[in-house]
Amino acid sequence: MKADLVVVGAGLFGLTVAERMASEGRDVVVIDRRSHIGGNAYSEIEPTTGIEVHRYGAHLFHTSNERVWEYVNRFTTFTDYVHHVYTTHRGEVYPMPINLGTVNQFFRSAMGPQAARELIAEQAAELGGREPQNLDEKGVSLIGRPLYEAFIRSYTAKQWQTDPTELPASVIARLPVRFTYDNRYFNDTYEGLPTGGYTAWLERMADHPRIDVRLATDFFDGSHELSKSAVVGQVPVVYTGPVDRYFDYAEGDLSWRTLDFEEEVLPVGDFQGTSVMNYADADVPYTRIHEFRHFHPERDYPQDKTVIMREFSRFAGRDDEPYYPVNTASDRERLLAYRELMRGEDQVFFGGRLGTYKYLDMHMAIGSALVMVDQHLTTSGVAR
Ligand code: FAD
Ligand code: UDP
């Protein structure tokens, strides 16, 4: 094996590192235990309809980071898709994230921004000006208890299966709350979907003569020349798999959430009229339904068929795909212990959502990979 760097994981973090290092003249081997590149951003065409399906749940690209935007545009153009989400609560559909439309529909009112702010401030007053300590308190402080209980509490309980008082406030701080009728889901400057699909984008990143991709190759399977035991200490490694797995769970298991997706092809042209419908109530077992045709209204998709995907959430066991770091107080303690171990691993660089146990969106994974290349890989010991 001839390599200046081994990258474990062909997700957006690993591909960004590989592409940048290859363009700097380094030979990079990328391994992934899956049979495809792209990590969780991977998509494929559903064969009976021709509709692009995001295999690991809907992925919407958005960023305000100029450097990331410039970088991703080297590999793909983006459509002008703007994400909107609706949610069903007690048989009624409301716009998300919570905005003046949601507030007025919920309270059967016609308030202007000022009156709505005053009402929410009154309903949020139970915190008495105290800094919110967890997701539950943050939710109430942002939108007051009635809206929190209708739209956030049960959805969050379904999605995280953890008491919201144990979840970090940052999870919900992702969602904007607006006192206008603007119901764009994201606040970022740039937003869109890769025009030719995710896989074409990701393949272009990996398409470099100095990048050698080996699929269906598990870093912890000792039987090949790219395993942990064969590589660490010999060649610099960028590791983007789960951090607890790397250390053989020495500091205990970090908690992760996994998802089960139930895909269905339906004989109708349009099932729900929008790309994502959340289900806020506890009695519906799934969190949301994605309908993929709506991500690409510009494409010529069939008019008599559609693809939907129901998303179910549960705790991940060691054999499940870990998708979301749960990040309870005890996880954070374990993570500190793992960070200590990470510091002791010479020439192993931990990155990405799984490798750092951080709730990173795609633009954040790419942005942090670019920083790792600048600060640690091109300037330090990664030899030619
Ligand atoms: P990953 O994409 O997870 O890649 C890690 C790779 O490492 C995987 O391919 C895995 O197979 C491989 N690997 C792990 N262990 C091993 C091993 N032992 N040996 C070899 N390979 C290994 N972001 C957005 O910006 N917008 C969205 O709308 C959005 N929606 C999301 C929806 C869902 C359901 C999920 C789960 C994530 C979503 N994200 C979204 C986040 C996005 O998926 C991540 O930011 C991105 O995937 C991070 O890239 P990564 O390279 O860190 O990790
Ligand atoms: N959330 C909620 N109700 C909704 C949508 C989101 O309670 O209808 C909360 C929930 O806790 C979720 C968080 O807001 O985990 C972030 O939502 P987002 O849609 O950003 O999550 P993701 O797409 O990453 O799963």
Task: Name beta bridge partners: 310.
Answer: 262, 289
C-alpha–C-alpha distance, residues 89 and 112, integer Å: 23
Give distance in angstroms: CA of 198 to centre of ligand 2: 22
174 vs 244, which has greater pLDDT? 244
Task: Round the average pLDDT of the chain to a whole number and report it.
Answer: 95
Please pick, among 20, 288, 334, 353, the residue that the annotation labels catalytic. Answer: 288
DSSP state at residue 78:
B
Q: Which ligand is nearest to the CA of 353?
A: 1
CATH superfamily of 5-81+191-249+326-377: NAD(P)-binding Rossmann-like Domain (3.40.50.720)
Domain extents for the chain? Answer: 5-81+191-249+326-377, 85-173
Residue 87 beta carbon below 6 angstroms from any ligand 2 atom: yes
Q: Active site includes 281?
A: no
Distance CA 6, CA 26 (A): 11
Instruction: Determine if the peptide bond prior to 97 is cis (ω within 30°).
Output: yes
383 pLDDT more than 60: no
Q: Would you state the pLDDT for residue 381? A: 56
Count of alpha carbons within 13 Å of 357, Cβ hemisphere only? 22
Q: Please report the DSSP string for 110-147 in residue order.
A: ---HHHHHHHHHHHTGGGTTPPP-SHHHHHHHHHHHHH
- Which pLDDT tens digit goes with each residue over 10-63? 999 999 999 999 999 999 999 999 999 999 999 999 999 999 999 999 999 999
d(CA 48, CA 117) in angstroms, rounded, equals 49
Ligand 1 centroid from CA 11, angstroms: 6
Name the residue of 29, 40, 311 whose CB sits within 8 Å of the most ligand 1 atoms, as the mutation to test its pocket: 40
| 63 DSSP β-pair partners | 190
Q: Give the predicted TM-score (pTM) of the model.
A: 0.95
Please choose, from the candidates 123, 226, 132, the residue with its C-alpha nearest in 3D space to the C-alpha of residue 170.
132
Both tokens of residue 19? 């592409």
> Has residue 298 got a pLDDT over 80?
yes
- CA-based nearest residue to 276, from 263, 295, 257, 250: 295
In this prediction the ipTM stands at 0.97
- Burial class for 72, CB neighbours closer than 10 Å (0-12, 13-18, 19+): buried
Out of 34, 55, 257, 334, the active site residue is 257
Q: Report, as an integer, the average pLDDT of 340-368.
A: 97
* C-alpha–C-alpha distance, residues 239 and 6, integer Å: 8
Number of H helices and E strands in the chain, helices first, is: 13, 16
Tens digits of residue pLDDT in 148-158: 999 999 999 99
CA nearest neighbour of 97 among 276, 293, 255: 276
| Mean pLDDT in residue range 200-218 | 98
CATH number assigned to the domain with residue range 85-173, chosen from the 4 options 1.10.3110, 3.30.70, 3.40.50, 3.30.2320: 1.10.3110
Q: Which of 153, 178, 210, 293 is catalytic?
A: 178
